[in-house]
Chain A
């Protein structure tokens, strides 16, 4: 009964998916007929089942999440404080702005050689590349959030006895910038995720979604490649959804209604 209700409610979405998968299966099996060019839906499903059964998919998930976690946590620990002091203190902004503006446009993947030279073939090296991708959006958005703290809120706080810079940052500027900061984190995590495949390409580990994608490509097992592509997409989507749900529910309750 419940399943039926869900199906009825989401009929257009479900139909669209079913049609797409059917077309894909038909095109792959009867028109292209070459697994190398386009593996069929069932090829992908069977490769999925085999990696789940052997347990490698689970290890790949964990390793990739670890790389991603190292990068994103480092980006948060560095990006948010840097953005805060840049946004709050004009001199700090003028000192750090030229450096950041020079480093920022460098594509994160261009850092890979140095990541390997500095950190070797380690998980940290992969994390570093993701860090470079994630940190700038976090800095910029934290900075922008702090720049647009409403003057009237700051003055109201001062009159109420909140006068120290540190208290103003903690009690006024930070909470009021939170929408912008969390948007920065979302963008940063997205960019970091994009860097994952390349960061794992160099074999910092024998596991990881990105590494496995390349490895199977080397073996011309395109059904596995496609399966890992889907896994990267699904995991990326899930991370974003979970994060977004958390901030909307816990941190930005006060905003509902402001933006639909």
Chain B
């Protein structure tokens, strides 16, 4: 199970001069089990903060986040995360990056390598097993990062603009691959992005945030049938709708 409930979450940051900034204000959101949710909004709207709170890397100033009813206070392998920047451990080979999680769970070396190879196959990088991260392209590195997060068998996968720094073609390929993985592994995914195209192609549900303080303005169900076509009239129409809502929000500000 991987049901995430966000209840009245607010987050403040106090900087060195004692200035208080509100990053998130009274957020309420329910992410259902096995749901693919995209969180979209302008930069600086607190999308990443929200994801970090779900991951347990930050604790909210008020409110709480629960996973299947259990309060989240610290990082836990049940919630895997893929970061925006390259977060692979450069001193470990590809396979040893993926075995890191299982090893930390106390799994023995052979068993964790078995698991790692399975996920390496899933992201199509078997032949790069013994390469170091510096030998891989950006897209390959993010594939390894996804495999590494999955190797812990998480219930929820948190993704913070994971394809943001990739070129458009690689991004499209990785989006399709991610959907395949999502269907195969039956997990919940919370995916932060600033790209409407990406959200419309991936999500069951799009959550829109505004900036400073970050608030949810809209939650849109994406009722397009899967597998989706990037350029079908339905998709275009839907994208148009989302963009219009975003534009309206900007005017309100």
Q: Which residues of A contact B (CB under 8 A)?
A: 152-153, 155-163, 167, 171-172, 175-176, 178, 253-255, 257-258
Contacts and interface: CB of A to CB of B under 8 A. Distances in A.
Nearest to B154: A159
A159 to B, nearest CB: 4
B95 interface: no
B238 interface: no
B237 interface: no
Nearest to B134: A257
A158 B100 CA distance: 11
A175 B92 CA distance: 9
Interface stretch (B19-27, B63-71, B74-82): B74-82
Interface string B143-180: 00000110010000000000000000000000000000
Contact of B90 (A155, A163, A254): A254
A257 to B, nearest CB: 5
Contact of A159 (B81, B85, B88): B81
A162 to B, nearest CB: 5
A161 B104 contact: yes
B182 interface: no
B91 A159 contact: no
A258 B86 CA distance: 15
B87 A152 contact: yes
Nearest to B84: A152
Contacts of B149: 159-160
25 contacts: A152-B83, A152-B86, A155-B75, A156-B87, A157-B100, A158-B57, A159-B56, A159-B77, A159-B80, A160-B80, A160-B100, A160-B104, A161-B75, A161-B77, A161-B101, A162-B104, A163-B74, A171-B100, A175-B92, A178-B91, A253-B132, A254-B93, A255-B90, A255-B134, A257-B135
Contacts of B75: 155, 158-159, 161, 163
A176 B57 contact: no
A254 B134 contact: yes
Q: Which 3 residue pairs spanning A and B have beta carbons closest together? A: A161-B77, A160-B101, A161-B104
Contacts of B92: 175, 254
Contacts of B86: 152
Contacts of A157: 89, 100, 104
Nearest to B74: A163
A152 B87 CA distance: 6
B104 A167 contact: yes
Nearest to B148: A160
B217 interface: no
Nearest to A164: B104
Contacts of B83: 152, 155-156
Contacts of B101: 160-161
Contact of A161 (B55, B76, B85, B135): B76
B105 interface: yes
Contacts of A258: 90, 134
Contacts of B134: 254-255, 257-258
Contacts of B148: 160
A158 B104 CA distance: 10
A153 B76 contact: no
B89 A153 contact: yes
A63 to B, nearest CB: 38
A254 B132 contact: yes
Interface in B112-136: 132-135
Listed residue (B79, B90, B152) with the most chain A CB atoms within 10 angstroms of its CB: B90
Nearest to B57: A155
